[in-house]
Structure 1
Amino acid sequence: MRTDDLIRALDADAHSRAMPLGSAWWVAAGAATGIAAVVFWLAIGPRTDIATAMHTMRFLAKFVFTTALAISAFALIRALSTPGASTSRAAAWMTAAPLLVVFAVVLELLSVPAADWGRRLVGSNMVVCLTFIPLIGVGPLAVFLAVLRYGAPTRPVLAGTVAGLLAGGLAATFYAAHCFDDSPLFVATWYTIAIAILAALGAIGGRLFVRW
């Protein structure tokens, strides 16, 4: 069978499921958000001064970064799960979150004395961040990998990696409500590492459970 014929067959199979693949992704997004919310509230919950923090730009900026990642990763993974679908536009939007973080870091470096850079980068919740973003995100990652199996991604490792980034963006959005470290330097370093852990787990999951 030629490659084009195989892709058309896979695409037809993906569209013939009991639930359309597009609908399955929205159901998965809702389920994953619910799982992340439950783990977040049971494990750590929001910071005690969140009412005050919500009036600061650094606190709010964290949610801009994390939701930008989650939204762009969601668009890309939907395309990757459908054989033959174009991924170029969705992949281009994946640069939005990193560019926003870089822009915020530059502003931070320009506005904060150099003597404070190290303190803001290390913060006070480094270990908590590296622990709870993966913990909150592992359930959603399992949900996203299950939907990838429901679809027919032709690049399972890449799709699994994006599933990890999506889970990481979702988990980091919840964790940001708890985190007392609002500096873009902290977010750019430790949030990135924590999300990368989920991306690596997603790549492994894609290779082991999604390949066909």
Structure 2
Amino acid sequence: MDDSDMRTEDLIKALDADARDKAMPLGKAWWLAVGVAVAIAAVVFFATIGPRPDIMPAMHTMRFMSKFVFTLVLAASAFALIRALSVPGASTGRRMAWMLAAPLLVVLAVVLELFVVPEADWGKRLIGSNMMICMSFIPLIGIGPLAVFLGMLRYGAPTRPVLAGAVAGLLAGGLAATFYAAHCFDDSPLFVATWYTVAIAFLTLLGAIGGRLFVRW
């Protein structure tokens, strides 16, 4: 091992020790951050658009509930990954693989939708009726949680700040999309796969930029 490798390893160990020596353990701090982020998202959601009026009967339909499966799986897998990324030297391979779960679920739902919906209706299902609202309110609901998660990354010591910031955006996007799904009248997987993805991708880009600018060591 040459001197540069030794210096890098020593730096990672020092960062790891610093992350573990915080006033609050990093693992507990992340759970607190998620609680704060959920509270912020809830305030924005209920102060602006709120749930759809027919949410109770909608909850008995598979299309409506499938939206939450996608958003919650995305949020859960991003949370597991970002916790690992905030600790230098932590293993991330398996957690990275779990990030494929939400996209695969959406692809499966889209394929099933294409089988059961007439081809003439595909375009209508994809465009929906709330495209602009979706692309506006998911980022609006998620921007506060994203700021919380970027702050948590500074509390830790990520060695890949751009990646960590992008995952923070995915986590904020999954959380925001979960709230927005309770308002959204477009339940088609075609709509979710397209416009939810665009809105979450915007938060992911913001997170990556935030990681590059604010989460550095």
Task: Say yes or no: TM over 0.5.
Answer: yes
List structure 1 runs of 4+ shifted beyond 4 angstroms: none
- Name structure 1 gaps, 5 residues minimum: none
Distance 2:107 2:158 in 1: 31
Residue 45 of structure 2 corresponds to: 40
The residue type paired with residue 154 of structure 2 is R
C-alpha offsets along residues 152-173 of structure 1, whole Å, 9 cap, x if unaligned? 0000000000000000000000
- For the residues of structure 2 that align with 1:142 and 1:23, how far apart are their CA atoms? 18
Cα offsets for 1:63-96 (capped at 9, x unmatched) = 0000000000000000000000000011110000
| Cα drift, residue 211 of structure 1 | 1.2
Establish whether residue 98 from structure 1 lines up as the match of residue 103 from structure 2: yes
Partner of 2:123: 118
Q: Secondary structure in 1 aligned to 2:46?
A: helix
Q: What is the TM-score normalised by the length of structure 2?
A: 0.97
1:2 CA displacement: 1.2
Q: Which residue of 1 aligns with 2:209?
A: 204
> Which of the residues 44, 66, 69 maps onto 1:64?
69
- Deviation of 1:209 after TM superposition, in Å, equals 0.4
**Structure 1 match to 2:143:** 138
Equivalent residue, structure 2, for 1:189:
194
TM-score in terms of structure 1 length: 0.99
Q: Which residue identity does 2:55 align to in structure 1?
A: I
Distance 1:121 1:211 in 2: 40
Is the partner of 1:2 in helix, strand or coil? helix
**What is the deviation of 1:201?**
0.4
Out of 10, 14, 31, the position equivalent to 2:15 is 10
The one-letter amino acid paired with 1:133 is: I
Question: RMSD of the alignment, in Å?
Answer: 0.5
